[in-house]
Amino acid sequence: MHEPTIYEISVEGRQGVRFPQPDVPETQFPENFLRQELPLPELSEIDAVRHFSGLAQKNYSVDAGFYPLGSCTMKYNPKINEQVARFPGFLHTHPLQPITTVQGNLYLMYHLQEYLKEITGFSGVSLTPAAGAQGEFVGVKMIKRYLEEHGQSHRNKLLIPDSAHGTNPASATMNGFDTLPVPSNSNGTIDMDVLAELCQRDDIAGIMITNPNTLGLFEKDIVEVTRLVHEAGGLVYGDGANMNALLGVAKPADFGIDVMHLNLHKTFSTPHGGGGPGAGPVVTTDRLAPYLPGPIVTVLEEESEDTAPLYGYLTPEKTIGQVKAFQGQFGVLVKAFTYISMLGAAGLRRVSEYAVLNANYLLANLRDTYVVPYDGLCKHEFVLEGVWKDIPDIHALDIAKRLIDYGFHPPTNYFPLIVHEALMIEPTETESKDTLDAFIAAMKSIAKEAREDPALLHAAPQSTAIGRLDEVKAAKMLNVCCLPQYNQ
């Protein structure tokens, strides 16, 4: 049963929300600019509520169940976050208001800046970037600008491990860098011999590194990696997507990283929203801080006996420039601030402890059933192969789809690219032992079905209202808009 579209349930003459008539003398709208048709649907309020509530029921979510999507940190999103972010004082403030009227917002941003610096060990921060990918774009551009200002423009190669997220090479290209892949060794970490050889080149701009990497392994040679790159004249970008493994355990600044982004919608539990909004603050060292994008919140006047400090904005002198309008994804920042305030230092460390405990518990229970290409102590996530030698026509995709029939969201599949038929599993700290045990049982049951009744996997999912969708048809018979007049 498909839910009709808003256009299919539209009935001429309906209107869900009405507004008062203007109470000012009328001005004629210029005829030559007046549109003839406005092809919007017409719904009553209840039509719209039922429609969107119906669609909501067709979504899987963290609120509904276990979501072990590797590299995405689908942890529970506390309800209080949603409530406080909607306090009228936050909701109804305009980004261009005079600073004296938004001291609450600026206080919050200033302290969130301080918290993120403390958590990562860096000395500079900008909350502006809208998402992790934009944080990467910012960090790589800061490296570019730094090299240019230091007469190093010939350095145009960024090293990128073959296990990296796709955003890393894309961010490098957007900033005019070429990329050089760095292979992983048989342990799943950076091949140090190859890295050392690459660092002999005189055109190395730096490296983009994720630690723990996308196999869930801590790059134990990280200090040596950053030392080699620095000695070669390059800088080190840290992809903070996997920060959930390190809170209160280790500070990335101590690794020798120069600049990194954080994903507040992952690590700090502001929700993912079905694909955003996120927030991707960038933290950095003194060396690169002058290149950060503004505005950054600062104390303009220190507090005195009878007055609070006055917060305001500053834009660093050598900034790479503005990367979005205004100050950042403020509503998301409120949620991250709330989360950190509730957890404190000990709570944040517990987050990482239990994220890593949960991942290792799953791994310990699954390694006899599934092939683990890079086995050992993992951090917050790990990668299995979704394929067995004796049943070659079962693929990671089949296992993923069958998990849906067991009531679970599938893991990330086919990433990282260095694992054949990858299933990348990140349980997060908010899942109980009971949930993990149920997931383990499902994974084992599927492995059994793969041998005994493979058709169950190939036909999965069967518990959903629709089956596997024809993606080739979607791309070929492109239909991305339901208005008939625009869709011929």
Partner 1 sequence: MFIPHTYEETISMLKTIGFEHIDELFSDIPAPLRNANLDLPEAMTEMEVSKYLEEISQANETTQELMCFLGAGYYNHYSPAIVDSMLRIGSFYSAYTPYQPEISQGTLQVIYEYQSLICALTGMEASNASHYDGATAAAEAVLTAFYQFNKKRSNVILSHFINPQYAEVIDTYASDLPQVNIIHHTAEDADIPSLIDKDTALIVLQYPDFLGNIKDYSAIVNTAHEHGALICVIVNPIALGLLIPPGEWGADIVVGEGQPLGIPLWFGGPGLGFFATSKKMIRKIAGRISGETTDANGNRGYVLTLTAREQHIRREKATSNICTNQALLALAATVYLSALGKHGLQQVANTCYQNSHYAAKEIQAIDGYTLINTEAYYHEFVISCPVPVNEINNHLLDHGILGGLDLSEMYPEYENPVLFAVTELNDREQIDTLVEVLREFSHA
Site for partner 1 in 164-193 (CB under 8 A): 165-167, 169-176, 178-179
Among residues 250 and 391, whose Cβ is nearest to partner 1? Answer: 250
Q: Which stretch, 55-63, 198-206, 296-304, 419-427, contacts partner 1 (CB under 8 A)?
A: 55-63
Helix (H, G, I), strand (E, B) or coil at 69: strand
86 near partner 1 (CB under 8 A): yes
133 near partner 1 (CB under 8 A): yes
* CA 180 and chain centroid, separation: 24
Q: Which stretch, 127-135, 231-239, 284-292, 418-426, contacts partner 1 (CB under 8 A)?
A: 127-135
The minimum distance between CB 74 and partner 1, in angstroms, equals 6
Strand partners, 284: 124, 259
Strand partners, 60: none
The DSSP call for residue 35 is: -
103 near partner 1 (CB under 8 A): yes
The minimum distance between CB 197 and partner 1, in angstroms, equals 21
Short-list 434, 343, 267, CA closest to 80 = 343
441 near partner 1 (CB under 8 A): no
The minimum distance between CB 389 and partner 1, in angstroms, equals 27
- Say if residues 124 and 116 touch (Cβ distance below 8 Å): no
The minimum distance between CB 178 and partner 1, in angstroms, equals 8
The minimum distance between CB 452 and partner 1, in angstroms, equals 23
What is the Cα–Cα distance from 383 to 215, expressed in whole angstroms? 6
Binding residue count for partner 1, defined by CB under 8 A: 203
Token pair 């017409």: residue: 42
Among residues 300 and 342, whose Cβ is nearest to partner 1? Answer: 342
78 near partner 1 (CB under 8 A): yes
Q: Site for partner 1 (CB under 8 A): which residue of 66, 68, 70, 102?
A: 102
- Say if residues 279 and 127 touch (Cβ distance below 8 Å): yes
The minimum distance between CB 69 and partner 1, in angstroms, equals 6
At residue 339's C-alpha, the angle toward residues 333 and 344, to 5°, is 125
What is the Cα–Cα distance from 236 to 218, expressed in whole angstroms? 16
Among residues 191 and 335, whose Cβ is nearest to partner 1? Answer: 335
Helix (H, G, I), strand (E, B) or coil at 22: coil
398 near partner 1 (CB under 8 A): no
Site for partner 1 in 400-439 (CB under 8 A): 400-401, 404, 409-410, 412, 415, 429-433
198 near partner 1 (CB under 8 A): no
Directed axis angle between helix 433-452 and helix 330-366, to 10°? Answer: 60
The DSSP call for residue 374 is: S
Token pair 């203007």: residue: 22
Q: Which residues contact 275 (CB under 8 A, 6 or more apart)?
A: none
The minimum distance between CB 131 and partner 1, in angstroms, equals 4
Short-list 232, 234, 190, CA closest to 211 = 190
Site for partner 1 in 304-333 (CB under 8 A): 320-332
366 near partner 1 (CB under 8 A): no
- Say if residues 128 and 332 touch (Cβ distance below 8 Å): no
151 near partner 1 (CB under 8 A): no
The DSSP call for residue 289 is: G
Site for partner 1 in 244-283 (CB under 8 A): 246-251, 254-255, 265, 269, 271-278
Q: Site for partner 1 (CB under 8 A): which residue of 66, 70, 108, 198?
A: 108
